[in-house]
């Protein structure tokens, strides 16, 4: 409950679930751990908890060493050089800046792209974007998105293509090292993770740009 990592006997035996979990957990004020089922689980069924945000398979891979291919989305990897309070208000967070396996993009991605563009081109419209967001004036926000869609879609494509290029270079280096698999036993899993992320990015690119 305090954010520290803990080893919990028996509780550590639960597997991870992204789309569905059978177990919910809690701690009391003394730090005692409780686990209970959320429904009447049939015999022989898995017992799963959520290890972390299921929309960030890269975190699960880095922290726990497995690739969850059932996750519906992945962090879009858009990392501005500086994240200010406006961007946080617009929803900049790894669990909200999402590319979905269906090719959809979360609204927060479009909002941040628009904010970045307006920050370097038209401050008055950036102020209008923040006003509309804070007032929940979605019609006004949509008008701004439509007005600058050409620019934000260009930024999106540049980000997708640039990230895929970097990912391909990293995967190429990893492929070269697969010849010494005994020295790098995690390489196949790393490559599978990279391919999962790449496939998601490609699906987004195909949906919005047709290739």
Six token digits for residue 53? 């945000």
Spatial distance between the Cα atoms of 137 and 193, rounded to a whole number of angstroms: 39
Q: What is the pLDDT of residue 1?
A: 47
Q: Packing angle between helix 123-134 and helix 107-121, nearest 10 degrees?
A: 150
Mean pLDDT of 64-80: 87
Contact 112, 118 (CB under 8 A): no
- Most confident range, picked from 24-28, 30-34, 110-114: 110-114
Element (H, E) at 20: none
> CA 98 to CA 105: how far, in whole Å?
6
Mean pLDDT of the chain: 88
Band of residue 3 on the pLDDT scale cut at 50, 70, 90 = low
Long-range contacts of 38-44 (CB under 8 A, 24+ apart): none
pLDDT per position as a tens digit, 113-164: 999 999 999 999 999 999 999 999 999 999 999 999 999 999 999 999 999 9
CA distance 90 to 73: 19
User: How far is the CA of 111 from the CAs of 46, 102, 139, in angstroms?
Assistant: 39, 20, 14
pTM of the predicted model as reported, rounded to 2 decimal places: 0.79
Between 174 and 164, the higher pLDDT residue: 164
């Amino acid at each position: 409950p305090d954010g520290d990592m803990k080893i919990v006997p028996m509780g550590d035996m639960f597997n991870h679930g992204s789309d569905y979990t059978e177990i919910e957990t809690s701690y009391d004020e003394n730090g005692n751990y409780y686990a209970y089922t959320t429904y009447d689980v049939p015999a022989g069924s898995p017992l799963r908890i959520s290890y972390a945000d299921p929309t960030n398979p890269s975190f699960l891979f880095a922290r726990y060493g497995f690739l969850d291919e059932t996750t519906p989305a992945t962090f879009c990897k858009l990392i501005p050089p500086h994240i200010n309070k406006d961007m946080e208000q617009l929803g900049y967070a790894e669990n909200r800046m999402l590319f979905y396996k269906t090719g959809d993009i979360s609204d927060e991605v479009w909002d941040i792209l628009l904010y970045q563009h307006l920050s370097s081109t038209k401050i008055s419209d950036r102020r209008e974007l923040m006003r509309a967001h804070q007032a929940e004036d979605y019609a006004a926000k949509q008008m701004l998105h439509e007005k600058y869609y050409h620019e934000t879609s260009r930024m999106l494509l540049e980000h997708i293509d640039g990230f895929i290029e970097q990912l391909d270079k990293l995967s190429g280096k990893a492929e070269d090292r697969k010849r010494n698999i005994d020295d790098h036993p995690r390489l196949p899993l790393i490559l599978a993770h990279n391919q999962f992320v790449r496939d998601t990015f490609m699906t987004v690119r195909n949906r919005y740009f047709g290739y």
